[in-house]
Structure 1
Amino acid sequence: MPRFSVIVPAYLVQAYLHACLDSVLGQSYTDLELIAVDDASPDACGEILDSYAARDPRVTVVHLPQNVGLGEARNAGLERASGDYVVFLDSDDTLTPGSLAAIADRVKDTGGPDVLIYDYARAHWDGSLVRNQHAQMLNESGPQPFALADRPSLMRLLMVVWNKAYRREFLADSGLTFHPGYYEDTAWTYPALMAADSVATLDRVCVHYRQRRQGNILSTVSTRHFDVFDQYDRVFAFLDAHPELNDQWRRVLFRRMIDHFCTIFTTRGRLPRGSRAAFLRRARSHYARYRTPGGPVRTPTRLRHGLVRLGAHRVYLVITGTRRVRVRALRHVRRAAHAARGAALQAHYLIQCRLPVKDDLAVFSAYWNRGYSCSPAAIESMVRDLVPSIRTAWIARPAHTHTVPTGTRRLTPGTFSYWTALARAKYLVNNVNFDRRLRKRPGQVLLQTHHGTPLKKMGLDLQEHPAAGGGMDFATLLTNVDKWDYSLSANRHSTLTWERVYPAGYTTLEYGNPRNDIFARATEADRDRTRELLGLASDATVILYAPTHRDYQRTQTPHLDLARLARHLGPSYVFLSRAHYLSTTAPYATDPHPRVIDVSDHHTVEELCLASDALVTDYSSLMFDYAALDRPIVLLTDDRMAYEAARGTYFDIRSFAPGPVAQSQDELLDILATGHWNGSRSARLRTAFRARFCPYDDGHATERVVRRVFLGEPSEPPAPRPVPSDLRHDTTDEVRPGRPLSLEP
């Protein structure tokens, strides 16, 4: 008897079926049976299912003699299910990696509930993923499992069958079956939740709900949308058969029913032309039949319900049409106001540019105004200490202003004070470029700090890599580079790279990386303080996972199953997951694990480095900074060929790695489990790497920069540490082909 029976009905989904089946059969949790039902599909679905069954004994295929619809196809699969729990999956959707393992763990932890509800994300055709807007209802706090009456808000979730795992014995005892017609999930899900003695939640995205451009049943214009009335008749018939549930749920179901009717009535692309009046008449009949007064109702909802009660479809259409016109008018007004404000801001900026430059003002920013961080933050802090006569200001978006110290003026991008500061400040410091509309004035000094040692191709070198630089305006790039007065470099490799890919007349300051000064000054107390802030035990082995951005991927999906590593390595290991700053979503935000902590919103990565015992990364420049800590670094390069083809690298990192290199997740697990990550060979690799790329990380890089740029004092870096003679060549465990290093020590 398998733990899970996964039921997948298939009809006219041949283009999506492989992905669906692979997402099930490729789960790390393998104790399952897959029951695939061919609903007499006229395309290749049946053949695809048979091919999977031929090569995987866990697959059972049921071929129906005629098309019966989604509900009856699920019934056919349910009759053959033998697992402890039943999971339904639509054939154009997919299970997320590790979801069955997470569901199995949660079922065990909550004592085997009748129903376990998990989350989903809408997968749009453009690759974007949008998590369920009511995800907060699936929090795992409080007693688990629980009765539905203890958390009635769960009835507000989308009533679908595929975001739940059902105990099969519970389904058999309750006699639940699917009914024919559209909206078949309605007549199943409500009764299932109300009949369940125990319910539990899993705060994890386990299903990617594909949003098809065409072919979605609910987006099809058809009179079959009238089936929703029959489905609600069945829901209320279930209530009538269980009078003990009436007082608790009848009022809730009545409101949900009327809201559902309103959604169908107002959504374009569902009801055929000329059928709206008939639909609202049916809705009015159901309103009268099942009306259950009581409970607070918001004014807009009360208006909609009143129109349904009266069957006033023309009034309803007029009101909704008026609302659409109002929304469009407001949109045009906002656009006009935005354009007018932009013109006023630029006029203001030009006026400010005619006023004298303020020698006592310095403006800082980092990562396109994402908050107080990186080398500009270290320099800003040192300016306040060494040059108190200079007033500092930091540009940050509203969401990041809380990261700016109280002694520093905060500037919001796109405001009048922002443009005033850019026009009047003598010193401008950034680790990326300022707004392209900035006019560098005589007397202004612009310091470009960059944000890491380059492994991946940068600047003009991206002209040969359209996957990464295809949308870049290189002429504008060079115009911005011409504004630089100083370019900060951490090592000789960076100097040679920056001067070639950003050719201009600036002065290079090969002084080290200011943001790494903290590593030379930090104490155990600093480490413990960050660990306490993150809720980490002082004796835990903390591994920071910080992958870089993939230019060849629109959606930055996780490359590493951290939950799997955490389970295999045991309770003493904790993983900190840090998404790249260009990622719109944290990679593990939808895949929580108690020992996998998402730290993507932590504003300084340096604190995370101090809190950790080791770094796992891929091609991220963070490895060059982390090496200054002299702590273990492990690389995962499972997609090296794709990454190098899309972005390009300046050298084969495997030929001069800062630590062990894994070519797969299994190799990484072996490196961590055996202790190879913290062995003597790892230390030798790291020593050579530090000597080459961290020659000036002595804790005084920031001071050197401030004395040179802000005080005009000559400041020379210390002599770089030489690379030990026995570590000048390839030091990996095996010789691999790669470009020879030409990096001056």
Structure 2
Amino acid sequence: MSQPEPNLTVVIPVHNAAPHLGACVESLLAQSYTDFELILVENGSSDDSRERCARYAAEHPGRIRTLTLDEASVSAARNAGIDNARGRFITFMDADDWAEKEFLAEFFRDPAPGPGTIVMQGILLDFSEAEPPGPNEAFFSYDDGALAIGDDPSAAVGQRFLQDGCSVCKLYHTETLRRLGIRFIEHLCSREDHLFFFTCISRMQSVVWRSGLYMHYMRRGRNTLSTRPMPACELVEAAERLDRFIPQLAERFGITDKAYLFALRQNLVRDTLLRAANNIRFGDRRSVLGAIAARPELFGAETYTPRWHPLLKRPLLDRILKGRECHTLLYLRIALRRSSLRLRGRFNA
């Protein structure tokens, strides 16, 4: 006899996650909300993650399913989850995090979610396994509330929800994602989750915020997005896509607070371009430095001094950025700084 369709699908990409997968899955099996299925999408692991996923599926038939991909792409894994989800709603989780027992139930409190709504809840940074360990702190947190198209935009500014592009702690209507063709961009190495969220929020009619803080986003070691090498050209593409989205979302939600929108651009666009600069290669110099030069308002002198060199003052920076023939000079400046940091063990590339 076929299993009834669950109300919710939880999708977890699994790539070399064997040490932490157990705590993640067990935290979901202990949830107070039980009308859900769990899809583990194993993608290109070199450890025994695939075997662990198969074992969980065998131990919990009807609750846990597994998918297997050959490519090591978190976006491809999430897209496979969207394609195969049986639940009316869908949410995503990372394989090295864990959730308190009220996490899933928090999504379904009143007001109940609908097809045109995104539900968001907060994220707790958990430093219990960091080097060194430290106290937990809120990454994002929200007051209970809701915002529909045409409402007073002050709630959007006050909640600062557009900064939260994490793939986790958001609830979407599965069939709406499929009908609108909303997907994670698989070739991007960074900000693909934020672009997915921006695409969703640009097509939905409302957002609901929950005050719960039940997701533990684990911070372990020192290998973070800011230190891992990434293709600079992909970071530039992500930054430019984000920069095109921000005015569209401001218009959609009636946000006119210029200080807020500028801070949002600095937080997303400038920081992504600085990451591209940190990962620059000679062949990328025109695209990276051209994208920076096109947005001089985001790059004050404090961005470069003393991070690069105290002699690199803003007038000199302006001249370098305005002259395309000078991009090689600035590239060499960045490359020299990166080499110096690598020798001192502060840059992992």
What residue is the counterpart of 1:598 in the other structure? Answer: none
Aligned equivalents of 1:319 and 1:279: distance in 2?
24
Q: 2:235 aligns with which of 215, 228, 231?
A: 228
Given that 2:82 and 2:178 are in contact with CA atoms closer than 8 Å, whether structure 1 keeps it comes out as: no
1:40 aligns with 2:38: no
Q: Once the 2 structures are TM-superposed, how far is the Cα of residue 175 of structure 1 from its aligned partner?
A: 2.0
Given that 2:13 and 2:42 are in contact with CA atoms closer than 8 Å, whether structure 1 keeps it comes out as: yes
Q: Which amino acid aligns with 2:77?
A: A
Cα deviation, 1:478-537, whole Å, max 9, x if unaligned, reads xxxxxxxxxxxxxxxxxxxxxxxxxxxxxxxxxxxxxxxxxxxxxxxxxxxxxxxxxxxx
What residue is the counterpart of 1:203 in the other structure? Answer: 211
1:60 aligns with 2:36: no
Label 1:241 to 1:322 Cα distance change in 2 as closer, same or farther (>3 A). Answer: closer
Number of residue pairs matched?
293
Q: Once the 2 structures are TM-superposed, how far is the Cα of residue 250 of structure 1 from its aligned partner?
A: 12
Aligned equivalents of 2:104 and 2:226: distance in 1?
30
TM-score, reference length from structure 2? 0.71
1:177 aligns with 2:183: yes
Cα deviation, 1:70-114, whole Å, max 9, x if unaligned, reads 111100111001212111001111122221122222453x66761
Q: 1:317 aligns with which of 291, 294, 304?
A: 304
Instruction: Report the RMSD for the aligned CA atoms in angstroms.
Output: 3.6
Q: Once the 2 structures are TM-superposed, how far is the Cα of residue 237 of structure 1 from its aligned partner?
A: 6.3
Q: Once the 2 structures are TM-superposed, how far is the Cα of residue 223 of structure 1 from its aligned partner?
A: 3.5
Q: Mind listing any 5+ residue stretches in structure 1 that lack a counterpart?
A: 289-301, 324-745
Aligned equivalents of 1:208 and 1:242: distance in 2?
29
Given that 1:221 and 1:271 are in contact with CA atoms closer than 8 Å, whether structure 2 keeps it comes out as: no
State the structure with more CA Rg: 1
Q: Once the 2 structures are TM-superposed, how far is the Cα of residue 205 of structure 1 from its aligned partner?
A: 0.8
Given that 2:202 and 2:249 are in contact with CA atoms closer than 8 Å, whether structure 1 keeps it comes out as: no
1:19 aligns with 2:23: yes
Label 1:111 to 1:317 Cα distance change in 2 as closer, same or farther (>3 A). Answer: closer
SS of residue paired to 1:38: strand
SS of residue paired to 2:192: coil
Alignment of 1:419-430 (within 5 A): none
Given that 1:191 and 1:235 are in contact with CA atoms closer than 8 Å, whether structure 2 keeps it comes out as: no
Aligned equivalents of 2:165 and 2:89: distance in 1?
19
Alignment of 1:709-728 (within 5 A): none
Q: Which has the higher relative contact order, 1 or 2, with Cα contacts under 8 A spaced 6 or more apart?
A: 2
Q: Mind listing any 5+ residue stretches in structure 2 that lack a counterpart?
A: 311-349
Label 1:140 to 1:199 Cα distance change in 2 as closer, same or farther (>3 A). Answer: same
Q: Once the 2 structures are TM-superposed, how far is the Cα of residue 4 of structure 1 from its aligned partner?
A: 1.0
Aligned equivalents of 1:319 and 1:29: distance in 2?
51
Q: Which amino acid aligns with 1:102?
A: E
Cα deviation, 1:150-196, whole Å, max 9, x if unaligned, reads 33223443311212111223323332100022221121111212222
1:189 aligns with 2:191: no
1:146 aligns with 2:127: no
Aligned equivalents of 1:273 and 1:232: distance in 2?
14
SS of residue paired to 2:278: coil
Q: Once the 2 structures are TM-superposed, how far is the Cα of residue 306 of structure 1 from its aligned partner?
A: 4.3
Q: Which amino acid aligns with 1:64?
A: L
Label 1:199 to 1:184 Cα distance change in 2 as closer, same or farther (>3 A). Answer: same
Q: Once the 2 structures are TM-superposed, how far is the Cα of residue 271 of structure 1 from its aligned partner?
A: 2.5
1:122 aligns with 2:119: no
Alignment of 1:409-420 (within 5 A): none
Q: Once the 2 structures are TM-superposed, how far is the Cα of residue 246 of structure 1 from its aligned partner?
A: 9.7
What residue is the counterpart of 2:87 in the other structure? Answer: 83
What residue is the counterpart of 2:169 in the other structure? Answer: 163
Q: Once the 2 structures are TM-superposed, how far is the Cα of residue 316 of structure 1 from its aligned partner?
A: 3.8
Identity rate, percent: 22
Aligned equivalents of 1:226 and 1:249: distance in 2?
31
Q: Which amino acid aligns with 2:305?
A: V
Q: Which amino acid aligns with 1:195?
A: R
Q: Which amino acid aligns with 1:39?
A: N
What residue is the counterpart of 2:268 in the other structure? Answer: 260
Label 1:277 to 1:208 Cα distance change in 2 as closer, same or farther (>3 A). Answer: same
Aligned equivalents of 2:25 and 2:81: distance in 1?
15
SS of residue paired to 1:318: coil
Alignment of 1:574-593 (within 5 A): none
Label 1:149 to 1:320 Cα distance change in 2 as closer, same or farther (>3 A). Answer: farther
Label 1:7 to 1:285 Cα distance change in 2 as closer, same or farther (>3 A). Answer: farther
